[in-house]
Amino acid sequence: MTSTTLLTRSRVLKRTALVSALGACLLAGTAFAQSTVGDIYGTAAASQTIQIQNLGSGTTRTVAADQDGHYRASSLPIGSYRVNVVENGQTVSTRDINVVAGQSAQLNFASAAGGSSSAQALDTVTVSANALTAIDVASVESRTSFTADKLDKLPVPRNVVDVAALTPGTVKGDSAFGNLPSFGGASVAENSYYVNGFNVTNLYNNLSFSEVPFQAIQQLDVQTGGYGAQYGFSTGGVTSVITKRGTNEWKGGASWVYTPAWGREQQPTTYTKDGALYRTYQKNSDNDNVYSAWLGGALIKDKLFFYGIFQSHKESQTAYQGATSSAPAERNEYSDPFYLIKMDWNINDSNILEWTGMNNTKHTTNQYYNQEIGTDGKPSTTDYLGDRHVKTGGAVNVFKYTSYITDDLTATAQWGKMKSKNSSDYTSADGTVTKYDGNINSPNQGCPYVIDRRSSTQSGLTDPVHSCYLASTIDRFNGEDQRTAYRVDLDWKVGDHDLSGGFSREKWKSDSGQSYAGGALYYYRTNGAGQDYVSEYNYRTGGSVAIDQKSWYLQDNWQVTDKVLAYIGVRNDSFNNQNGAGQNFVRQGNIWQPRLGFSWDVFGDSSTKVFGTAGRYSLPIAANVALRAATASYYTIQNFSYSAIDPVTGVPTLGAPLTDKSIVNGENGSTPDPRSVATKDLKPYSQDEFILGIQHRVTSDNDFLNDWVVGAKATYRKLNNAIDDTCDWRPFYAYGKSIGLDMDANGDQFTPPSSMPGCFIYNPGSKVSVDVDLDGSGVLRNVTIPGKAFGEKAKRTYEAVTLSAEKATDNWYVNASYTWSKNRGNTEGLVKSDNGQDDTGTTSAFDYPELMVGATGYLPNDRRHSFKVYGGWRITPEWQVGVNGLLESGRPTSCFGGGDETVGGIPSYNSEFFYCDGKISPRGTAKRLPWNWSLSPNVVYTPAYAKGVTVQLDVLNLFNNDKKTAINEIGENGSDSNYYGTTYRVPTYYQTPRYLRLMVQYDFSL
């Protein structure tokens, strides 16, 4: 659819607090991708009983070693545990261990096969080194986990997205999508985000999620692939947040994180090819303060626990636009009063009830001003234009019940609801309030969106057209997204098998809509003959759309031998999408997704692990697809001459029309017949993935070389089927002609009858079978057109090899990785970085076959080489330093052109073709962007004289490296070549400049 956006060996060690707190983040073990619990397993004598006590909550689990001496306690909440071995009523051994979500912690008290216990009665508690297990042989997956203490001390931006970018195989996506992570070559819209096991991904377009206060995170897991059948809805990666909770000890604290405007450098001033000023950042500013306070403890000892945090985020920002832009300057105020409450009720040792409640509503006020560029090249503001008020985010409530029915049988049930606002309104300088109610037929109001690309403007002969518009688009006032979901899971250990299964159902509803500001866009341009003209665009969407999802899974972790674990799983999903009229337009059922894996403990001592996974993963269709493809909407374009321009609004006095009104993608204001929207037997968006890897703990007499965990992993991903839309009516037109219909009475080869949608949802490369009114007679016919008539099959592959090394000692830790990868195909995925299009699942990529000519090549998220390292060193008990470094090769670029019917006569498309200088310009064949690198150190001071106080200074991008990360890839646009001839390959985004961040934190215990 056309874009509207232009462990370890079994030995006992003593570790310092640094390693206990920070080393856990180096874990690379696995369990379920979004798990909030972990396991303790190992060996003891067959006659012994294992008591496992949570040191925070006091709850105790008791399991018995089987006849072979094996024991396992599963589904344990994360935290510190004391494990007692009891024989004949006497405790003969005691060890403490940390349980990390998604990990299996190993404690061996005896040899396997019922060997006699080597444990003796102890006078002291031993802290097991297995708490730092880096090789989890009890699982087939691989992941990276970050603990709360590590998150506090890492010199990275304090958000989930930037932490996720530390993991191997992950790159930051295009800046147009907020630099969201791209995992394993997938688009940034193919990820899932969880909080305490609840999916908080916004299914409207998969490009946002509900965040928690950063200080509330106890553990953050990042999974880049290979997760089991328990979870789905991702062909990219998964991030899972587990929040802090109360314990028997009351603890609290407060922090202030300050990022001052005076500590920020600016991006470079940018010029066009002919030396004209393109954009200056000299007077931009950004001042950021985050205040947090938290408290947690036991309301009833060992029974009822509370944790609460309040975070106030205040940010002030000034941003100026491009030198020739009609857009106004902005002074922005952001207010994010986040809060989170976590309640845990230990009904008894066998039953736990949890509630997580949070609200992350964000309020944004944008003040707009006209701007001028002085003779010194510096911008300034002039007239005040008005304010825009934006409200996003909302409340999340999650309830979870866990029952340990027997030692071997655990049941969980979860219910949750998430609400997220997406609302905006405008107040002009004279006090007039403008809102869009989502009604596509409501009258135009306010100032229109204006773009001025006339030759005289670009050359500086005339000033750009100014308008009183505040932003290019306006979202539906009081728009809201809502998810309601429940799931039930069972885990049953039978002999050598750990069986689990479950069922989940989710209902999603989006009340959404969007319009151009003032109801229209006026785009001033100059044609090839040097004549100025204006294009009038009308774009409006609105409606209430829904998704109903059902899923079930079965899986078995089978301990085939003491050294070999096999994983067998299967998942089944069903999706049902509804349009704004409540009608089903897509049904997808029985989407089978097999998952297989193995783990081989080569020497039987957890020092070397060989593992592999193979699986199929699938995604639902995002809710936004229904708004433009299956619900009434407008998108029209018409060119006019003009005689004058209003100096305040930028509205032209229109003259004679130069073209007929073009209805883009059939968006003419009527609701398409749901039988005509999507092809029958639509196959799911799916991807196959294969992973093979090895991990090994180095043993050496050399103290530096000893205990490094090194690894190598190969990953291959292949997209099986994509879902997108085609807007090519020509095959239907030809078919109608072939059966003798008058196909020109109510349309033409590019324009279907008004009763038909302009685009059809399909699997690129597969046949299209829909019910259509071919000639506008009102008669629906089922028509099947071969897939080759609509162009190429969607293709995307990802190949990668990752080498890693990590180590934690008493005083330092380090995690380093190198990834070599290739990301190739003709589609990035659900969104399109080529033109910044966020119409998830309905990009312009497959609209016409001509758009795909030359489309195969290296994709925007391709980074051939990526080196990452982070670590820390405790110099003294009071001083610690850390570092985070990145060295990464640049992304491929292309040259886009065509537009204005210059390629195949296709109307209403701008420069979205792989066509420049009169010839095909294949994807990725333009020069790659330069390597980018950054080094971010920090220093942490915990003074002995001020117990509980921590002072930390981070310097992000210390050397202020300013390599470009995105450029203008448009080389031409039909007859409008003047502007793009001077702006092609001009940078549009750079690395984030150097900035300072100061944190002061106080922790206390009552």
pLDDT tens figures, 712-758? 999 999 999 999 999 999 999 999 999 999 999 888 999 899 888 98
| 671 vs 23, residue with greater confidence | 671
> pLDDT-based confidence at 666, cuts 50/70/90?
confident
- The tens digit of pLDDT for each residue in 455-464 reads 888 777 888 8
Burial status of residue 583 (CB atoms within 10 A of its CB: 0-12, 13-18, 19 or more): middle
- The tens digit of pLDDT for each residue in 151-168 reads 988 999 999 999 999 999
> pLDDT-based confidence at 430, cuts 50/70/90?
confident
User: Quick check: 140 pLDDT over 90?
Assistant: no
Q: Give the CATH class of 251-321+330-405+419-722+794-1005.
A: mainly beta
User: Quick check: 29 pLDDT over 80?
Assistant: no
* pLDDT at 518 (0 to 100): 84
Mean pLDDT score of the chain, rounded to an integer?
Answer: 90
Taking CA 66 as the corner, what is the angle to CA 62 and CA 69, rounded to the nearest 5 degrees?
Answer: 100
* pLDDT at 976 (0 to 100): 61
**Token pair 């314990």: residue:** 247
Element (H, E) at 163: helix 160-164
> pLDDT-based confidence at 25, cuts 50/70/90?
very low
User: Quick check: 250 pLDDT over 50?
Assistant: yes
Lowest mean pLDDT among 323-332, 365-374, 530-539, 542-551: 323-332
* pLDDT at 378 (0 to 100): 86
User: Quick check: 64 pLDDT over 90?
Assistant: no
Share of the chain above pLDDT 90, in %: 67
Output the DSSP codes for 607-654. SEEEEEEEEEEEEPPPTHHIIIIIS-EEEEEEEEEEEEE-TTT--EEE
* pLDDT at 347 (0 to 100): 96
> pLDDT-based confidence at 286, cuts 50/70/90?
very high
Residue range 950-979: average pLDDT? Answer: 89
User: Quick check: 559 pLDDT over 70?
Assistant: yes
b/e sequence 281-290, b meaning 16+ C-beta within 10 Å: beebebbbeb
User: Quick check: 132 pLDDT over 70?
Assistant: no
> pLDDT-based confidence at 111, cuts 50/70/90?
low
Looking at mean pLDDT, say which of 24-28, 152-156, 927-931 comes out highest.
Answer: 927-931
> pLDDT-based confidence at 975, cuts 50/70/90?
low
> Would you give the DSSP letter of residue 789?
G
User: Quick check: 555 pLDDT over 90?
Assistant: yes
User: Quick check: 28 pLDDT over 60?
Assistant: no
Lowest mean pLDDT among 10-19, 322-331, 574-583, 964-973: 10-19
* pLDDT at 973 (0 to 100): 80
The domain locations on the chain are: 30-130, 144-240, 251-321+330-405+419-722+794-1005
Residue range 645-657: average pLDDT? Answer: 92
* pLDDT at 461 (0 to 100): 83
Alpha-carbon dihedral 910, 913, 914, 917, rounded to 10 degrees: -50
* pLDDT at 982 (0 to 100): 87
CA distances from 213 to 35, 391, 511, 639, 956 (A): 20, 18, 26, 49, 21
User: Quick check: 936 pLDDT over 90?
Assistant: yes
- Find the farthest-apart pair of alpha carbons in the chain and give their distance in angstroms, rounded: 100
Q: Please determine, looking at this structure, whether the domain spanning 30-130 carries the CATH number 3.40.605.10.
A: no
User: Quick check: 591 pLDDT over 60?
Assistant: yes
> pLDDT-based confidence at 881, cuts 50/70/90?
very high
Lowest mean pLDDT among 265-274, 325-334, 606-615: 325-334
User: Quick check: 388 pLDDT over 80?
Assistant: yes
> Would you give the DSSP letter of residue 463?
P
The whole-angstrom separation of Cα 834 and Cα 892 is 11
Residue range 505-519: average pLDDT? Answer: 92
User: Quick check: 907 pLDDT over 90?
Assistant: no
Overall pTM > 0.85: yes
Antiparallel, parallel or unpaired: β 879-888 and 932-941: antiparallel
Q: Helix, strand or coil for residue 543?
A: strand
User: Quick check: 23 pLDDT over 50?
Assistant: no
The whole-angstrom separation of Cα 612 and Cα 620 is 26
**Which residues are paired to 644 by β-bridges?**
653
Q: Give the CATH class of 144-240.
A: mainly beta
User: Quick check: 1005 pLDDT over 60?
Assistant: yes
Helices (H) and strands (E) in the chain, counts: 7, 57
* pLDDT at 37 (0 to 100): 86
| 244 vs 99, residue with greater confidence | 244
User: Quick check: 553 pLDDT over 90?
Assistant: yes
- The tens digit of pLDDT for each residue in 170-215 reads 999 998 898 899 999 999 999 999 999 999 999 999 999 999 999 9
Looking at mean pLDDT, say which of 47-61, 257-271, 622-636, 891-905 comes out highest.
Answer: 257-271
Residue range 927-938: average pLDDT? Answer: 97
**Which residues are paired to 371 by β-bridges?**
381
The whole-angstrom separation of Cα 345 and Cα 380 is 58
The whole-angstrom separation of Cα 646 and Cα 149 is 58
Residue range 947-961: average pLDDT? Answer: 97
* pLDDT at 933 (0 to 100): 97
Residue range 281-310: average pLDDT? Answer: 96
* pLDDT at 127 (0 to 100): 46
Residue range 873-897: average pLDDT? Answer: 96
